[in-house]
Amino acid sequence: MKHKGWLIGILTAALAAGLLAYCITPGVRRPSLAKGDILVCMEADGSVSLSWPDAGEGSVYLVELHSDGQSLRQHSGESLLSVSGVAPPFRVRVQAAASGKNLLGMDRELTSLTSLNAEVASAALEIPVLTGEPEEGAMTFSWERGQSPVYAVCALRDSVYLPVASSSGTGTFLRFDGRSGLAMPQHGQPLELALRAGAPGKGYVLYGPPSQPITVERGDLLGDTLALSVRETEPRAYTLEWTEARGSEYELQEWRDGAWETMDRPEAAESFCYDLGRLDSGSYHRYQVLTRDRNGRQQVGEEVSFYASVSTLYCTVWPIIDLDFCGSAGESEILDRIPAGTALCVLEEDGQWFRVRYKDRYGFVDSRYCMINLSEYIGDYCSYDITNSYSSVFKVHESPIAAITDQVIPGFEHMRTEEDGFLVPYLYPSSQKLLSAAQAALEDGYRLKIYEAFRPNEATRYLYDTAAAKLGDPALVLDEEENVVDPVTGWRVDLASGFWIDPETEELTDPASLLEPEEAAEPPADGAEGDPLQTPEDGLLETGGDTPETEREDPGETAEPPAEGGEESPEEVPDYPTYGAIMTDNGRFRLGSFLAAVTSAHNRGIALDLTLETVDFPAELEMQSAIHDLSWYSAVYLNNGNAELLAEYMTGTGMVGLSSKWWHFQDNETREAIGLTSYLYKGVDVGGWTRDDRGWRYRDPGGRYYRSTTVTVDGKRYSLDRDGYTSQAPAE
């Protein structure tokens, strides 16, 4: 008996150990199941989709379903299972399950101690119609209510529309914040939503087939604010940044030549960054970003505009005098002597010094004696129309001047380039004052429009001598067809040569050949060349000074308008007003009041001829006369309010005007400060080396870049690519 008890004990212990080994599954914990209802969704194809609360990542579920004549026991790695060939009524049970190997090496499954159970009854459920109205971060859904107790908005998941928001009414509101069931759709991954009618039961909700789906894209749920901004990342280098907004497509546009042009269509993203690169100094820029829906209709637009910062980097400059070319900023070592008028490219500004390239060497020149191209430096803070470079507007009141009006004035031949527009040379220290005046005007909605800055001395002398020779001639007039005609003969006049055009033969005839010898020899009615009063631009007739012009009263209209001429005999020719009579107001002014005979402040690069225009819709403000009207009609004592406003902007920076011309202002302060006494006789051009962020290029005097060729400069041969750049520039 004693041995028998011992044996039973051993067997019992072994049995217990075996049972324990069977029950212990190393590394596997019994799973738990979240509480909630089983959702039973009837599909249009007759199948049934079952879903239940998710127990967490990695969970496995055991689903058991029993109906008349059919039983199902199946595992699912998702909290979703689709079953075919089953229809309510049926019983369903869901448990969480975990599997592993016990200590005996046998496969063993652990199920949750709790389960979800439901006895699903059949119900008649309609297929509703869903509509949705999106707004920022949310959507309002609506439908017509039928006989069903509840309705659920469903999102497509694993090919099944599963409920995410329910309501017993005729609509619901759903916010896409990731907390109430749905997060915002990802870009390129729209949500498909449908509506199911439902009937709740104990432990379950039965839903009927889904409605026709509606598609919701991320752009539908975004707001109407792009938050477009611009950021300067380094001098004159800018980046556009904006946030996403409502719409499915994005389009970046730039305002160019009065219209919006598309720059890019970036892929949708949560934020955007577009590099504009280095912009031209003082250039004005305007950008907008649009969003469009799937049908191409504009949804949201945001605009930004700005002026690029002003800097001398890569600007063209010309010495107004011969300048020392120094090895460093401070004249420590003179490398060479640069002739006045040589085109240079600024690589760096160091105090009062410009670092430039000259004859394949790098060095410094004194910036105070350099004219800078305003169109490159100040940029769009001003506008430019250097008419002398293509069609001069100099007239004597409304009378054209042969060989001047509509002509290219000698010395201006290269001041209009094919690729870069107008050259507007102006002394660099004076340009600082001009920028201040331009900014003040822009604040008031106006822009300074420059007609002339530097004028070569050859142009000054040509204008004076040509106009002086015609002072005693009858002033040309315009006929009804806007032809320029001689008022005495009525013949048309060729402005380029001053010759008459024979109405019968169309041949050009020199008027001098038809005059009596004593008439042809008659001198012009004006002062002699060299008279100090002939050089008003040097400051002898400054606005506000004690001059006869500013002391006299308004003379009124003393000149008779030009009469229409005919082909009468000389004794029948009426007395037509001459250029001198119209210009001088019977001696109150003279040609020297309007044109210098010898030297002008323009020749020194310190004078400007300019007017005002509106900014939004560019149109010149009306003054008392046209610009470059060489007559007393231009005198400042006749200034209207617009001319006074222009004078206020310019004199507010320390510049002075002239009593005879409302458009002329000059910087005498700078001339005196640097002791500038020299001037340039010849005109300037941009021929030579120029630099940008890509490298060095070479251009001819007309501004054309050499491309896909070789050039020899200072004895060295350079190869230029199709864009005009060379890889042979000396190291900087």
Q: How big is the CA angle at 390 (ends 388 and 392), to the nearest 5 degrees?
A: 40
Q: How confident is the model at residue 520 (pLDDT cuts 50, 70, 90)?
A: very low
The verdict on 213 and 126 lying in the same domain is yes
Asked, for residue 128, whether it belongs to a domain, the answer is yes
Number of folded domains that form the chain = 4
The verdict on 208 and 236 lying in the same domain is no
Compute the mean pLDDT over every residue in the chain, rounded to the nearest whole number: 87
The verdict on 178 and 245 lying in the same domain is no
Model confidence over 324-343: pLDDT tens digits? 999 999 877 899 999 999 99
Per-residue exposure over 257-292, b if at least 16 CB sit within 10 Å of its own CB, e if not: eeeeeebeeeebeeebebebebbbbbbbbebbbbbb
What pLDDT, on the 0 to 100 scale, is given for residue 340? 98
Q: Looking at 35-49, 131-145, 520-534, 709-723, which range is the least confident one?
A: 520-534
The verdict on 70 and 150 lying in the same domain is yes
Whether 543 shows a pLDDT value over 80: the answer reads: no
Asked, for residue 429, whether it belongs to a domain, the answer is no
Q: Are strands 416-417 and 421-422 parallel, antiparallel or unpaired?
A: antiparallel
Model confidence over 653-696: pLDDT tens digits? 999 999 999 999 999 999 999 999 999 999 999 999 999 999 99
Mean pLDDT of 629-648: 97
What pLDDT, on the 0 to 100 scale, is given for residue 559? 33
Asked, for residue 330, whether it belongs to a domain, the answer is no
Mean pLDDT of 524-544: 41
The verdict on 195 and 260 lying in the same domain is no
Peptide bond preceding 425: is omega within 30 degrees of 0, i.e. cis? no
Q: How far is CA 30 from CA 58, 111, 114, 539, in A?
A: 13, 6, 11, 102
Query: 280, 307, 334 — which closes off a domain?
Result: 307
Model confidence over 575-595: pLDDT tens digits? 789 999 999 887 889 999 999
Q: How confident is the model at residue 515 (pLDDT cuts 50, 70, 90)?
A: low
Asked, for residue 659, whether it belongs to a domain, the answer is no
**Model pTM?**
0.77
Q: Are strands 131-135 and 138-142 parallel, antiparallel or unpaired?
A: antiparallel
The verdict on 585 and 547 lying in the same domain is yes
User: In a 3-state reduction of DSSP, which class is residue 109?
Assistant: strand
The verdict on 226 and 192 lying in the same domain is no
Instruction: Return the bridge partners of 658, or none.
Output: 542, 661
Mean pLDDT of 156-160: 90
What pLDDT, on the 0 to 100 scale, is given for residue 179? 75
The verdict on 127 and 265 lying in the same domain is no
Q: How many CB atoms lie within 10 A of CB 526?
A: 22
Asked, for residue 266, whether it belongs to a domain, the answer is yes
Integer Rg of the chain from CA: 44
Query: 561, 593, 625 — which closes off a domain?
Result: 593
Asked, for residue 634, whether it belongs to a domain, the answer is no
Whether 528 shows a pLDDT value over 70: the answer reads: no
Domain CATH code at residue 179: 2.60.40.10
Whether 554 shows a pLDDT value over 50: the answer reads: no
The verdict on 150 and 255 lying in the same domain is no
Mean pLDDT of 95-117: 73
CA distance linking residue 166 with residue 178, whole number of Å:
16
Q: Where are the alpha helices (DSSP H) in 252-378?
A: 374-377
The verdict on 156 and 258 lying in the same domain is no
Torsion of CA 488, 492, 495, 500, to 10 degrees: -70
What pLDDT, on the 0 to 100 scale, is given for residue 662? 98
The range of the structural domain enclosing residue 111 comes to 35-217
Mean pLDDT of 505-521: 71
Q: How far is CA 264 from CA 217, 256, 273, in A?
A: 22, 14, 12
Q: Looking at 7-11, 490-494, 607-611, which range is the least confident one?
A: 7-11
Q: 299 is written with which tokens? A: 């949804």
Asked, for residue 127, whether it belongs to a domain, the answer is yes
Highest mean pLDDT among 43-52, 411-420, 520-529, 640-649: 640-649
What pLDDT, on the 0 to 100 scale, is given for residue 56? 79
The verdict on 117 and 154 lying in the same domain is yes
Instruction: Return the bridge partners of 372, or none.
Output: 317, 426
Domain CATH code at residue 694: 2.10.270.10
Q: 465 is written with which tokens? A: 């001598």
Strand order in the sheet with 171-175: 131-135, 138-142, 171-175
Model confidence over 253-276: pLDDT tens digits? 999 988 999 999 998 888 999 999
What pLDDT, on the 0 to 100 scale, is given for residue 516? 55
Q: Are strands 382-384 and 446-452 parallel, antiparallel or unpaired?
A: parallel
E-strand ranges in 432-591 read: 446-452, 477-478, 484-485, 492-493, 500-501, 508-509
Amino acid identity of residue 364, one-letter, is: F
Q: Percent of the chain having pLDDT more than 70?
A: 86
Contact 468, 683 (CB under 8 A): no
Whether 429 shows a pLDDT value over 60: the answer reads: yes
Query: 564, 593, 622 — which closes off a domain?
Result: 593
The verdict on 138 and 242 lying in the same domain is no
Mean pLDDT of 507-514: 85
List CB contacts of 658: < 8 A, sequence separation 6 or more: 536, 537, 541, 542, 543, 636, 664, 666
Asked, for residue 568, whether it belongs to a domain, the answer is yes
